[in-house]
Amino acid sequence: PVVMGIETSCDETGVGIVRGHELLADAIASSVDEHARFGGVVPEVASRAHLEAMVPTVQRALDDAGLTLGDLDGIAVTAGPGLAGALMVGVGAAKAYSIATGVPLYGVNHLSAHIAVDTLENGPIPEPAIGLLVSGGHSTIMMVEDLAGKVVQLGASIDDAAGEAFDKVARLLGLPFPGGPYIDRAAKEGDRAFVEFPRGLSAAKDQEKHRYDFSFSGLKTAVARWIEARRADGEDVPVNDVAAAFQEAVCDVLTRKAILAAKEHGVETILLGGGVAANSRLRGLAAERAEKAGLTLRYPRPKLCTDNGAMVAALGSHLVAAGVAPSRIDFPANSSMDVEVVSLANSL
Ligand code: ATP
Ligand code: MG
Ligand code: FE
């Protein structure tokens, strides 16, 4: 099926078009530069930027794919989770395109889309698979039993998301927003073993209740304290080393728990998804440990890890191919959409 996907959950206006697992277009307009000076995404600014970028980005995607709206078999749109006002722009646009053309509409989950995008790179996902979804708002271990409708959350962060920790630590180190890619780059020149920062929820006592959960706020505080102490002593902060040691702490727990989940559930495949899945150390360490454990590791290219429309189109294409019913045309955007809801049903 030929499916167009629309993504507006945060600061990226993304419109992707796929045919089956083939990526035909991936148009993106980002308002990230408008948010950078605030050190975080400003919801009102993001909504307005989506409104301005929506129609031109759809047009650009159609042009790139050499298609018209009439060629589509489905339109998928991120229904949630995300910023309410931002989501509303994408959902409103998708409904308008669907009504105008008669093409069926699918309201889908942004998080499942972060996992589904891998199909564009590596083909159908062997089910069940363990999804490690690490992004600006989430750090979740999911059991993907059926990408068309059955996804179960095994664990998640009990405080900050991994990407949020990257962005906060980057700020402490004086790196630009969003900090993840800058930490990644700085860490390449640093010493991972420079300091041993805490691995949240990894103590023996956490193994029962928080076996697959994460905590990154203690890590962020530990980094902040370390930097403060260093400055109080009048010494320079070795940015590259702190970045490397921090990144190692995050990647260590993420990969260890994802592999544990796979082993304990008898699952052979682990998928990385979300913006933090673009991190070079996470990819490297996960590959190392997966190989040792005899597991298959898959991840999409970095550009498909951060928010984009192709991921929404990829999930939509999977739903259409699986014969899942389209969503009711009057579904609402849901800023706190449940991780386990893959797409919105045809009924209320
Ligand atoms: P969610 O998907 O939970 O709604 P989001 O859509 O805002 O959140 P994404 O676009 O999926 O998040 O990911 C953005 C996050 O990924 C940011 O926190 C950013 O710093 C982080 N990130 C991007 N590239 C890298 C990298 N190379 N290393 C570490 N973090 C990265
Ligand atoms: Mg973004
Ligand atoms: Fe995202």
Express each pLDDT in 186-210 by its tens digit.
999 999 999 999 999 999 899 999 9
Confidence of residue 38 (pLDDT cuts 50, 70, 90): confident
Report which of 150, 66, 91 is spatially closest to residue 319, judged by C-alpha positions: 150
pLDDT above 90: residue 113: yes
- 40-55 pLDDT, tens digit each: 889 999 999 999 999 9
pLDDT of residue 288: 98
Average pLDDT estimate for 114-125:
98
pLDDT above 80: residue 229: yes
The residue whose C-alpha atom lies closest to atom 16 belonging to ligand 1 is 275
ipTM of the complex: 0.97
The residue whose C-alpha atom lies closest to atom 13 belonging to ligand 1 is 275
pLDDT above 80: residue 102: yes
The residue whose C-alpha atom lies closest to atom 5 belonging to ligand 1 is 136
DSSP 343: B
Residue 17 pairs in a beta bridge with: 4, 25
Q: Which residues are annotated as a binding site?
A: 110, 114, 133-137, 167, 180, 184, 279, 307
Q: Which residues are annotated as a binding site for Fe cation?
A: 110, 114, 307
pLDDT above 90: residue 36: no
pLDDT of residue 80: 97
pLDDT of residue 193: 97
pLDDT of residue 348: 60
- Residue 113, SS3? helix
Residues with CB under 6 A from ligand 1: 9-10, 82, 110, 114, 135-138, 163, 166-167, 178-181, 184, 274-276, 278-279, 306-307
Average pLDDT estimate for 50-72:
98
pLDDT above 70 as % of the chain: 100
- 133-170 pLDDT, tens digit each: 999 999 999 999 999 999 999 999 999 999 999 999 99
Average pLDDT estimate for 291-320:
98
Confidence of residue 37 (pLDDT cuts 50, 70, 90): confident
Confidence of residue 39 (pLDDT cuts 50, 70, 90): confident
- Up-side HSE of residue 220: CA atoms within 13 Å toward CB? 18
pTM above 0.90, yes or no: yes
pLDDT of residue 143: 98
Cα 239 to ligand 3 centre (Å) = 27
CB proximity list for 331: less than 8 A, separation 6 or greater = 79, 91, 107, 344
Length of the chain, in residues = 348
- Residue 233, SS3? coil
pLDDT of residue 230: 94
> Given ligand 1 and candidates 13, 168, 276, which is best to mutate, with the most ligand atoms within 8 Å of its CB?
276
